């Protein structure tokens, strides 16, 4: 898991998700600089992102190798998960968030927003 790490997702675009998950097989010890390709999971925490820019970033992540993208909305305490097949799911505070891209991971949405 990385925090605010740069990813060169294609020849023209680099993105810096708030949090990202990259499989250990892609990590080369001692490597520095921007990562090539998209992370397997990109997490964007949304405070004031314009809708068009958020949509563009989600599409870039998914088109370039991300298995899923989480858009986390602290104000409304909602998490939306977008997948590579073009689907999306909304998780609210009383629900358990599960993402097939992160095998075995389950968390109550309310726990994500504790102390926020």
**Boundaries of every domain in the chain:** 2-112
Q: What is the per-residue pLDDT for 31?
A: 77
**Phi, psi angles (nearest 5°) of residue 77:** 55, 50
| Low-confidence residues of the chain: pLDDT under 50 | none
Class of domain 2-112: alpha beta
| Of 52, 56, 43, 54, nearest in space to 5 by CA | 43
Q: What is the per-residue pLDDT for 19?
A: 93
Both tokens assigned to 44: 């964007």
Model confidence pLDDT, tens digit, residues 61-73? 999 999 999 999 9
Both tokens assigned to 73: 């909305």
Q: What is the per-residue pLDDT for 111?
A: 95
Q: Cα(79)–Cα(97) distance, rounded to whole angstroms?
A: 8
Model confidence pLDDT, tens digit, residues 20-34? 999 888 877 887 788
Q: What is the per-residue pLDDT for 116?
A: 74
pTM of the complete model beyond 0.95:
no
């Amino acid at each position: 898991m990385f925090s605010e790490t740069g990813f060169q997702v294609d020849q023209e675009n680099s993105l810096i998700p708030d949090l990202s998950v990259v499989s250990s097989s892609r990590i080369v010890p001692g490597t520095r600089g921007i990562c090539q390709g998209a992370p397997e999971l990109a997490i964007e925490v949304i405070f004031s992102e314009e809708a068009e820019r958020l949509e563009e970033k989600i599409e870039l992540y998914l088109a370039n190798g991300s298995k899923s993208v989480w858009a986390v909305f602290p104000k409304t305490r909602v998490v939306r998960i977008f997948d590579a097949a073009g689907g999306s799911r909304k998780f609210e505070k009383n629900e358990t968030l599960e993402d097939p891209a992160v095998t075995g991971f389950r968390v109550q949405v309310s726990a994500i927003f504790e102390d926020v």
